[in-house]
Amino acid sequence: MVSRSLIGILAGAAALALSAGGAAAQQKLKVGFIYVGPVGDHGWSYQHDVGRKAIEKAFGDKVETTYVESVPEADSERAIEQLARTGHGLIFTTSFGFMEPTLKVAKKYPNIKFEHATGFKRAPNLSTYAAKFHEGRYIIGQIAGKMSKSGTIGYVGAFPIPEVVAGINSYFLGAQSVNPNIKIKVVWANSWYDPAKEADAAKALLDQGVDIIAQHTDSPAPIQAAEARGKFGFGQASDMERFAPKAQLTAIVDDWSKYYVDRTKAVLDGNWKSQDVWGGIDSGMVVMSPYKNMPDDVKKMAEETEAAIKSGKLNPFKCPIAKQDGSQVECKGNGALSDEQVLGMNFYVKGIDDKLPQ
Amino acid sequence: MRFELTPRASVSPVVRALAPVAAFITAFLIAGLVIWLMGRSPVAAFQVYVSQPLSDPWALQELLVKATPLALIAIGLAYCFRANFWNIGAEGQYVVGAVLGSWLALKTHGTEAGFWVLPVMLLLGILGGALYGLIPAFLKTRFGVNEILTSLMLVYVAQLTLDYLVRGPWRDPKGFNFPQSVTFDPSATLPPVLEAGRVHYGAVFAAVAVLVTAVVLGRTLFGYRLRLTGDAPRAARFAGFSTKATTLAVFAISGGLAGLAGIAEVSGQIGQLQPSISPGYGFTAITVAFLGRLNPIGILVAALVVALTFIGGESAQIMLKLPLDLTQAFQGILLLCVLAADALVSYRVRLISRGVAK
């Protein structure tokens, strides 16, 4: 107990020292970010950093932003708490694996607002947010179905978690909707960011006759492998055109800027509330980069599908959905699978000739 | 023209003890130069890296938390390395210890199991690590298989087994199919040493391990036997020491301590099993063991220093916006300086010129 109160006194003294820095410094909101990969991954973490810069641009002197990169998930509690202790008022933790540590630190610092990406545990000062990337994957699935000459498309997955599995299913359903005989091959990289492994996975797919590569890993390595072999691919998280100008058909871009700016504004205005946001194409969180390297009719189809998803007319997981063994999935949403069903998806849809690692 | 290293006839213990100190100063000077070239203040960097963590109670706690697994594993490795056996697989032994201990935590989850759970978990952790460490030892003594290869490869077996368990049979049924176990009950959680602190009893185990090892290595026949086996294996055999028994013993000890580190980390820090439960402690501990010159006290200091570079690196990112790469470069510079200091103390460097006729 003695040491605890001592820490309290020291913390209080530190806070006083900080607030003595003048009125301007006092009002400045410090916004912190925890990234799972390097900011230079040109994918997932890179896009979150783009969002961070958007906050700086939008609020200028009113905010100060900080990031800690390549934070191992099992060892993240300290990094999050470091941000909490250094006067940050709003903290974004941007990987699923940060869920428990974020929750622990949030409980300890009730006056600080926390935002955790892709998780499901919330608290009065802890929001969650994620994007419906599977909407974009349906579109690229259709493009792949049209563009594949070999009739076999490929997918480089990170981990067989629901978010990734839902992406594969959506991609395959999209492809199947334009080419009922399409086949898919999936290779797991077992890492979010490991360019060498990702490239190996893509090469293994190409060696097996795949001519279109989609990826759910963070580096441009898979699409670069497709480019090197004269095949096609899709950018992931970020527009990867500069890495594969001939191979990129389009990219599913995560655009966190608007969300980050909105949430920062909410804290500045004093009306931040804990919430759960799952934004799709209509929210602007999921953005399709320009459709390129494809014939006009494919481009037109893609644009129409995008518009249909945006307006809510098309849901990639509209019922009926059949599992691999042919059994129907119970339809818990309104004519489609419910959000919970998609968020917890752990089965492949019918037609995927592979076994889901479980 | 070339350099030649010739062994020095005698080295005074004072010089030997001062070598690491000189290495640290050199490393800080080099790192300071780099930071200065980047246009930042080396003094501020030094403050954030070293003086701040060492003067702040919270950071001191974090230092102990981070150093705990490093010290425990490195102490175990000292037994192996002293006897000239190369256990590179502490990471795997750590994981198996964590898995076996957690098995009981998950078995008793939600039941009214009493106080016995935690001690048995810890014993299982030690047992798991020791048995896993005995595999390469057995393969070496029985078949003469190189222990470097087998112990290293068994790391991947352990990691993939853990991966399978948290994705399959041990997955939290209420966790949206995400790959993680339930969070442990309080009866299966290693408590903090101080109420509401983060330092768990693993730190106490590490301190005990250091003291016991200091006595064992320095004052017992067993310690002498290890040194002799390492320095003069033939002499050890003539003295009647069985190499076989020594091999098995050191691998069991080192595996057991790594296993203890694993279960202590999972039950004291993380609180559940996840696909990744170590940011590479088992490998970093090899560095720690050598930085500490295989001396228990030295290892304790080295573990704290390495932990300091991790924590200081995070502070540097937050306070000074210095990139993570710089922290990693600094860790590399530090290790190189220590190794160079060691070499310069033990050897004389001579420049040999071959004359003009070439």
pLDDT interval class at A16 (50, 70, 90): very low
Chain A residue numbers with beta carbons less than 8 Å from the beta carbon of B198 are 77
Does A121 lie at the interface with B, CB-CB under 8 angstroms?
no
Dihedral sign (CA A328, A329, A331, A336): negative
Cβ of A74 within 8 Å of Cβ of B277? The answer is yes
Q: Which two tokens stand for residue B284?
A: 């970093």
Q: Residues for chain B: how many in total?
A: 358
Range of lowest pLDDT (B95-104, B154-163, B177-186) = B177-186
**Helix (H), strand (E) at residue A233:** strand A232-237
A-interface mutation test, from B178, B194, B319, most A Cβ less than 10 A away: B178
Question: Cα distance from A2 to chain B (closest Cα, Å)?
Answer: 10
Q: What is the pLDDT of residues B277-303, one digit of tens each?
A: 998 999 999 989 988 889 999 999 999
Asked whether the domain spanning A134-253+288-343 has the same topology as the one spanning A27-131, the reply is yes
Residue of A nearest to B266 (CA): A74
Range of lowest pLDDT (A15-24, A349-358, B180-189, B249-258) = A15-24
Residue of B nearest to A33 (CA): B318
Angle CA(A55)–CA(A59)–CA(A61) in degrees, nearest 5? 120
Q: Which residue, among B219, B190, B217, B184, has the nearest Cα to B205 in the 3D structure?
A: B190
Distance of CA B345 to the CA centre of its chain: 25
The pLDDT score that the predictor gives to residue A42 is: 84
Cβ of B278 within 8 Å of Cβ of A96? The answer is no
Q: Which residue has the tokens 């063994």?
A: A325
* φ, ψ of residue A298 in degrees (nearest 5): -70, -40
Cβ of A3 within 8 Å of Cβ of B57? The answer is yes
Domain ranges of chain A: 27-131, 134-253+288-343
- pLDDT score of A73 more than 90: no
Contact in structure between A307 and A139 (CB atoms under 8 Å): no
Chain A residue numbers with beta carbons less than 8 Å from the beta carbon of B276 are 72-74, 97
Of B66, B178, B323, the CB nearest to A96: B178
Contact in structure between A346 and A165 (CB atoms under 8 Å): yes
A191-217 core/surface letters (b: 16 or more CB in 10 A; e: else): bbbbbebbbbbbbebbeeebbbbbbbb
The pLDDT score that the predictor gives to residue B331 is: 82
* CATH class of residue range A134-253+288-343: alpha beta
pLDDT interval class at A120 (50, 70, 90): confident
**β pairing state of B2-7 and A183-188:** unpaired
Chain B residue numbers with beta carbons less than 8 Å from the beta carbon of A79 are 314
Helices (H), B220-295: 221-231, 233-238, 243-265, 281-291
CA dist., res. A221 & res. A196, Å (int): 7
The pLDDT score that the predictor gives to residue A19 is: 41
CA dist., res. A305 & res. A139, Å (int): 6
Does A86 lie at the interface with B, CB-CB under 8 angstroms?
yes
The pLDDT score that the predictor gives to residue A183 is: 96
- pLDDT score of A171 more than 90: yes
Q: What is the DSSP string of A17-81?
A: HHHTT-HHHHHPEEEEEE-SS-GGGSSHHHHHHHHHHHHHHHHGGGEEEEEE-S--GGG-HHHHH
* The dihedral formed by the CA atoms of B220, B221, B223 and B226, expressed in degrees to the nearest 10: 180
More confident call, B7 vs B95: B95
Based on the number of CB atoms within 10 Å of its own CB, is B107 exposed (0-12), middle (13-18) or buried (19 or more)?
A: exposed
CA dist., res. A54 & res. A50, Å (int): 6
CA dist., res. A39 & res. A43, Å (int): 9
Residue of A nearest to B62 (CA): A78
Contact in structure between A105 and A77 (CB atoms under 8 Å): yes
Chain A residue numbers with beta carbons less than 8 Å from the beta carbon of B62 are 78, 81
The pLDDT score that the predictor gives to residue B177 is: 67
Residue of A nearest to B195 (CA): A1
Q: What is the pLDDT of residues B85-129, one digit of tens each?
A: 999 999 999 999 999 999 999 999 988 878 899 999 999 999 999
Contact in structure between B98 and B274 (CB atoms under 8 Å): no
Fold of A27-131: Rossmann fold (3.40.50)
Cβ of B276 within 8 Å of Cβ of A344? The answer is no
The pLDDT score that the predictor gives to residue A358 is: 64
- pLDDT score of A356 more than 90: no
**What average pLDDT does chain B have?**
90
CA dist., res. A106 & res. A123, Å (int): 8
3-state secondary structure of B162: helix
Cβ of A78 within 8 Å of Cβ of B66? The answer is yes
Contact in structure between B296 and B214 (CB atoms under 8 Å): yes
Does A4 lie at the interface with B, CB-CB under 8 angstroms?
yes
The pLDDT score that the predictor gives to residue A189 is: 87
* The dihedral formed by the CA atoms of A44, A50, A55 and A57, expressed in degrees to the nearest 10: 180
* φ, ψ of residue B183 in degrees (nearest 5): -80, 145
pLDDT interval class at A5 (50, 70, 90): very low
**What average pLDDT does chain A have?**
90
Question: Cα distance from B172 to chain A (closest Cα, Å)?
Answer: 12
Q: What is the pLDDT of residues B306-349, one digit of tens each?
A: 899 888 888 888 888 888 888 888 888 888 898 888 888 888 88
Cβ of A68 within 8 Å of Cβ of B197? The answer is no
Q: What is the pLDDT of residues A263-285, one digit of tens each?
A: 999 999 999 999 999 999 999 99
Q: What letter would DSSP give residue B320?
A: I
Does B318 lie at the interface with A, CB-CB under 8 angstroms?
yes
Q: Which two tokens stand for residue B61?
A: 């706690």
| Residues linked to residue A349 through DSSP beta bridges, in sequence order | A323
Of B57, B163, B315, the CB nearest to A82: B315
CA dist., res. A50 & res. B117, Å (int): 47
The pLDDT score that the predictor gives to residue A26 is: 52
Chain B residue numbers with beta carbons less than 8 Å from the beta carbon of A72 are 276, 279
Q: What is the pLDDT of residues A201-217, one digit of tens each?
A: 999 999 999 999 999 99
Determine the average pLDDT of the residues in B183-192: 91
A-interface mutation test, from B58, B64, B91, most A Cβ less than 10 A away: B58
Cβ of A75 within 8 Å of Cβ of B279? The answer is yes
Does A200 lie at the interface with B, CB-CB under 8 angstroms?
no
Determine the average pLDDT of the residues in B179-184: 89
CA dist., res. A277 & res. A262, Å (int): 12
The pLDDT score that the predictor gives to residue A40 is: 85
Q: What letter would DSSP give residue B186?
A: G
Chain A residue numbers with beta carbons less than 8 Å from the beta carbon of B278 are 74
CB pairs under 8 A between A and B: 83
Contact in structure between A186 and A251 (CB atoms under 8 Å): no
Residue of A nearest to B328 (CA): A70
CA dist., res. B188 & res. B6, Å (int): 55
The pLDDT score that the predictor gives to residue A14 is: 44
Chain A residue numbers with beta carbons less than 8 Å from the beta carbon of B56 are 10
* φ, ψ of residue A248 in degrees (nearest 5): -75, 120
Cβ of A7 within 8 Å of Cβ of B57? The answer is yes
Residue at B232: amino acid letter: A
Angle CA(B93)–CA(B98)–CA(B101) in degrees, nearest 5? 120
Based on the number of CB atoms within 10 Å of its own CB, is A172 exposed (0-12), middle (13-18) or buried (19 or more)?
A: buried
CA dist., res. A204 & res. A217, Å (int): 15
